[in-house]
């Protein structure tokens, strides 16, 4: 590694014979397994608090939508975020980022979407920028003003459409102008945004240079996948409810199918996304945590790999590919990260296992021993 990048890769004999190997400092990982650092391509990093109070309701049988309809769900987190100071939000996110690193993650995507008004959304996106500058992991920012319609726009006729207008005419232009995000996302679903509204938001984003990503076919099948593919979306995420035609559209496209099995696990749902059908059809499959307080309160990519293997029937190799190089592609960073290749950033996870398959095999256990970001050690087991 040199200047934060991978200078050479290969067998010990070959690398040690290079002239620049002589003065190089040696880091002995003693036979452990090294992977490209995980690229977590779907997180809702900035939120004020957990929703542990809803967890028991879910266990007792209330559905995600029933809880949301009673003012819980995303709106519960919006209320908490609006009341929180930027300093408190930042402290919580900073702690989370240290934990991401402890599980071998070196880049995360982060979505706004718990503010849902001009001030709060800009506050979240500003924090993405600050945190990206001030701590080692890279943060790729996504504007998700279209998470749900905020309470104050819900109960007047035409309210939801006025909120879409605020996103399209005010927030998206400002976010793009101030370079606060690279992507624009929409939660297209029952109880969130319709297909037509989603199209408006994504097109506005794209026309301002924010590439589309979509929360698609999570709770119900809306057609969001084919909308996303049609707009050249970088990623369609969730996909539990996709139909054969959606799978075919993804397979023919360069849009990554990002699967989030942590959601189904946390919500106790039996229907996971059809990963095998997607892979076998030729779609580019990614995996991410969807770290958020409502559907997936985990930041462990190794746990997501375990779920991908046992629940989505992906092989460990497919799951690791989905969590690294394919995820990097969905963030338009495939030239920089996601693989151990000469010239790429020196972003690595080192695992205390003898065989890479043991990373998902030991589920719920953190085998990450060291994490390296741009050539610097950012996590070491046992170190404080």
Which stretch in 73-81, 200-208, 240-248, 250-258 sits in contact with ligand NIG by CB under 6 A?
A: 73-81
Alpha carbon separation from 112 to 46, 121, 296 (Å, rounded) = 7, 6, 16
Q: What are phi and psi of 31, to 5 degrees?
A: 80, 5
DSSP bridge pairs for 372: 348, 377
Question: Shortest Cβ distance from residue 354 to Fe ion (Å)?
Answer: 35
Tokens of 96: 């989370």
Question: Shortest Cβ distance from residue 18 to ligand NIG (Å)?
Answer: 45
Query: Does residue 265 bind ligand NIG (CB under 6 A)?
Result: no
Exactly one of 200, 218, 253, 330 binds ligand NIG (CB under 6 A); that residue is: 218
8 vs 49, beta carbon nearer ligand NIG? 49
3-class DSSP state of 16: helix
What is the residue whose two structure tokens read 């394919």?
A: 326
The total number of residues written for the chain in this structure: 384
Binding mask 121-150 for ligand NIG (x = CB under 6 A): ------------------------------
C-alpha to C-alpha distance for 74 and 61, rounded to whole angstroms:
18
274 vs 294, beta carbon nearer ligand NIG? 294
**234: Cβ–Cβ under 8 A, 6 or more apart, which residues?**
183, 211, 212, 213, 255, 256, 330, 331, 332
Chain centroid offset of residue 258 CA: 9
Question: Shortest Cβ distance from residue 187 to ligand NIG (Å)?
Answer: 5
Tokens of 97: 């980022």
Query: Does residue 77 bind ligand NIG (CB under 6 A)?
Result: yes
Which stretch in 129-137, 274-282, 289-297, 347-355 sits in contact with ligand NIG by CB under 6 A?
A: 289-297
Query: Does residue 109 bind Fe ion (CB under 5 A)?
Result: no
Sheet with 376-380: strands ordered across = 33-36, 348-351, 368-373, 376-380
CA nearest to 148, candidates 172, 115, 110: 115
Chain centroid offset of residue 47 CA: 14
DSSP bridge pairs for 285: 257
Of all residues in the shown chain, the one whose CB is closest to ligand NIG is 294
187 vs 351, beta carbon nearer ligand NIG? 187
CA nearest to 347, candidates 357, 337, 355: 337
66 vs 376, beta carbon nearer ligand NIG? 66
Query: Does residue 290 bind Fe ion (CB under 5 A)?
Result: yes
Residue 218 touches which of Fe ion, ligand NIG, none (CB < 5 to 8 A by kind)? ligand NIG
Residue list 174-233, contact with Fe ion (CB under 5 A): none
Query: Does residue 298 bind ligand NIG (CB under 6 A)?
Result: no
CA nearest to 154, candidates 103, 193, 111: 193
Asked whether 84 and 20 are in contact (CB, 8 A), the reply is: no
Exactly one of 263, 275, 285, 331 binds ligand NIG (CB under 6 A); that residue is: 263
Question: Shortest Cβ distance from residue 114 to ligand NIG (Å)?
Answer: 7
Exactly one of 74, 175, 224, 314 binds ligand NIG (CB under 6 A); that residue is: 74
Give me Rg for the CA atoms of the chain: 20
Of all residues in the shown chain, the one whose CB is closest to Fe ion is 290
By the criterion CB under 5 A, which residues form the site for Fe ion?
290
By the criterion CB under 6 A, which residues form the site for ligand NIG?
44, 73-74, 77, 187, 215, 218, 263, 290, 292-295
């Amino acid at each position: 590694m040199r200047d934060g990048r991978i200078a050479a890769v290969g067998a010990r004999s070959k690398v040690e014979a290079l002239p620049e190997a002589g003065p190089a400092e040696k880091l002995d990982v003693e036979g452990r397994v090294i992977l490209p650092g995980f690229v977590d391509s779907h997180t809702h990093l900035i939120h004020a608090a957990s929703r542990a109070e809803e967890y028991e309701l879910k266990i007792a049988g209330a559905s995600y939508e029933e809880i949301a309809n009673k003012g819980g769900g995303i709106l519960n987190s919006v209320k908490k975020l609006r009341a929180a100071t930027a300093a408190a939000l930042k402290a919580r996110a900073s702690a989370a980022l240290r934990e991401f690193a402890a599980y071998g993650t070196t880049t995360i995507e982060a979505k706004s979407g718990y503010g849902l008004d001009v001030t709060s959304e800009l506050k979240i996106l500003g924090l993405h920028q600050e945190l990206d500058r001030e701590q080692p992991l890279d943060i790729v920012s996504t504007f998700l003003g279209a998470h749900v319609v905020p309470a104050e726009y819900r109960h007047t006729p035409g309210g939801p459409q006025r909120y879409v207008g605020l996103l399209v005419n005010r927030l998206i232009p400002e976010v793009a102008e101030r370079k606060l995000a690279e992507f624009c996302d929409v939660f297209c679903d029952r109880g969130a945004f319709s297909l037509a509204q989603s199209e408006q938001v994504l097109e506005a984003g794209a026309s301002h240079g924010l590439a589309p990503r979509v929360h698609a076919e999570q709770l119900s099948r809306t057609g969001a996948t084919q909308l996303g593919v049609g707009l050249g979306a970088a990623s369609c995420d969730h996909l539990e409810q996709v139909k054969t035609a959606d799978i075919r559209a993804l397979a023919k496209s360069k849009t990554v199918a990002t699967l989030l099995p942590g959601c189904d696990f946390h919500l106790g749902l039996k229907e996971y996304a059809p990963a095998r059908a997607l892979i076998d059809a030729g779609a580019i499959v990614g995996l991410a945590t969807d770290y958020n307080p409502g559907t997936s309160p985990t930041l462990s990519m190794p746990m997501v790999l375990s779920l991908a293997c046992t629940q989505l029937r992906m092989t460990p190799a497919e799951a690791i590919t989905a969590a690294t190089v394919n995820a990097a592609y969905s963030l338009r960073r495939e030239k920089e990260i996601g693989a151990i290749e000469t010239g790429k950033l020196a972003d690595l996870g080192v695992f205390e296992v003898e065989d890479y398959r043991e990373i998902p095999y030991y589920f719920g256990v953190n085998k990450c021993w060291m994490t390296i970001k741009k050539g610097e050690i950012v996590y070491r087991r046992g170190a404080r």
